[in-house]
Structure 1
Amino acid sequence: MDIEINVFLIIGIFIVLAAGFVQGLTSFGFALVTMPFLVKMIPLQEVVPIVVILSLCTNIIVLLNSWQHVAIRKIWILILSSLLAAPLGTFLLVYLSADLLKGFTGIVIIAFAGLLLSGKSFPIRNDKIAFIPIGMTSGLLNGSISLSGPPVALFLSNQGYSKNEFRANITVYGVILNMITIGTFFYSGLLTPKVMMYTSLFVPSVLIGVFIGIIAIKRLDDQLFKKLTLWLIILSGVWTILGSLKLV
């Protein structure tokens, strides 16, 4: 048993380090990198709290690095819309298959990200109002299949946000969502001593990864950053489709 734990910790440290780098660089994608690997070594009910807590750590650091670019007068609408719609996401599963919802969402994400990569965009003049449906979509997906990030990331990319504005605003959203989720974990008894032990052991590597990512982002211009984030979104869409087909 001790050998299994040690193997998990060694592999987990490198995975979390890589995920921290991705998060520090793009401000999302932490769960995309960590979940597929960690869930194969320990139960899902332990992996999810670990990933969310570590994601909160990365988001706080990125937010401190980019706070001056937060458009709080716009972003609060996104956050409120998402929080109001999240509970409704669970009802989607009553009427729709989770796999069907994942497959459809993955296809839409890939298609829209592909259009943006090809140079096409559909800018909306009043993005403050547009944050309402985007937030609701994100909240519905978070409450049903835990896929809140791509809709927001796609919208910010479509609107032509600079890399600093993109990172700052999506991170504020992530911090609040993480904190609320952790609160539900605490209430549900998922923050067990084992979960907290693993989390604490992974903190140093995730911090190193985030700081490397923050340093690396300075070398990317806005166009290269946009391409990188869109490819990451496409990857999340592909992974979602594979998951719906039970291939991962």
Structure 2
Amino acid sequence: MPDLATLAIAAPAALWAGISKGGFGSGAAFASALILALVFDPATALGIMLPVLMLIDVVTVRGFWNRWHVPSSWALILGGIPGVLLGVALFAVADDDVIRLLIASVALGFVAWQVAGQAGLIRLPLVPFRWRNGLIAGVVGGFTSYISHAGGPPVAVFLLSQGLGKTAFQATTVLAFWIINIFKAVPYGIMGFFTLETLEIGLWMAPFAVAGALIGIRAHHLVPERLFFGITYVLLTATGLKLVWDALT
């Protein structure tokens, strides 16, 4: 059994990931991986979270079955595969501190982009679906998903620019990352991200992840997105800055 300090961090991380993926498009789920990266090396943190995220995918995909935008889903999945392979190549040559800086940069960049958008400094023009845009978003999403489970932000930019409704956006995100996460599991296993320790911690996190996913599906229709993401931005900023400090010191 993991020690109580580990569980005190892992359980809320799993609950938050479930709520995010279950109801708010996965954009905030990677906060959970960042939290774990504060106490584990990046590879261990990612290895703990992937099975948990895959479990959440199984729960949430049923709640949004067949409500996704099919062309966008295909474009993101097909682009995501080479994006994952780029992440594999990076992990093969980069040390832990470089990965920490990249994870932190994704987190802080996501917060900056969201704040700028809400302040009216950035406006996404509405454009019809284009395969090229979807494939590019898939590559970037697959890469950031592999190195930090943070594929949500680039995918969100692509989907929101099409003006998709809230449920179609959520369903498309769920489907795309369900497939991408399955694909990620292969190189994670080959590169040694999964160990008895990561799997044991993941098992203890599983009930919290499922509960979070069920809460998220319900909250999708009840909780204002502004409130949920406001809390997320604070979490991401704090953990991102802490990771930068850890990497540089």
Aligned residue in 2 for 1:181: 184
Query: Normalising by the residue count of structure 2, what TM-score does the alignment of the two structures yield?
Result: 0.76
Letter in 1 for 2:7: L
Bigger Rg, structure 1 or 2: 1
Letter in 1 for 2:114: A
Aligned residue in 1 for 2:217: 214
User: Which of residues 65, 85, 93 is equivalent to 1:87?
Assistant: 85
After superposition, what is the alpha-carbon deviation per residue over 1:53-100, rounded to whole angstroms, capped at 9, x for unaligned? 1011112211110012122233111211221244345667989x7688
3-state SS of 2:3 partner: helix
Is the 1:31–1:51 contact (alpha carbons within 8 Å) kept by the matching residues of 2?
A: no
User: Which of residues 206, 214, 217 is equivalent to 1:203?
Assistant: 206
> What root-mean-square deviation, in Å, do the aligned CA atoms of Structure 1 and Structure 2 show?
3.4
Aligned residue in 2 for 1:45: 43
Q: How many residues align?
A: 240
Q: Does 1:113 align with 2:111?
A: no
Is the 1:70–1:168 contact (alpha carbons within 8 Å) kept by the matching residues of 2?
A: yes
**CA 188–159 in structure 1, closer or farther in 2 if over 3 Å, else same:** same
> What stretches of structure 2 of length at least 5 have no aligned partner?
none
The CA distance in 1 between the partners of 2:154 and 2:139, in whole Å, is 10
Aligned residue in 2 for 1:15: 13
Is the 1:102–1:240 contact (alpha carbons within 8 Å) kept by the matching residues of 2?
A: no
Query: Normalising by the residue count of structure 1, what TM-score does the alignment of the two structures yield?
Result: 0.77
The CA distance in 2 between the partners of 1:230 and 1:9, in whole Å, is 24
After superposition, what is the alpha-carbon deviation per residue over 1:200-219, rounded to whole angstroms, capped at 9, x for unaligned? 12111111111112112122
User: Which of residues 11, 22, 25 is equivalent to 2:23?
Assistant: 25
3-state SS of 1:191 partner: coil
Identify the structure with the greater helix proportion: 1
* Percentage identity across paired residues of the two chains: 20
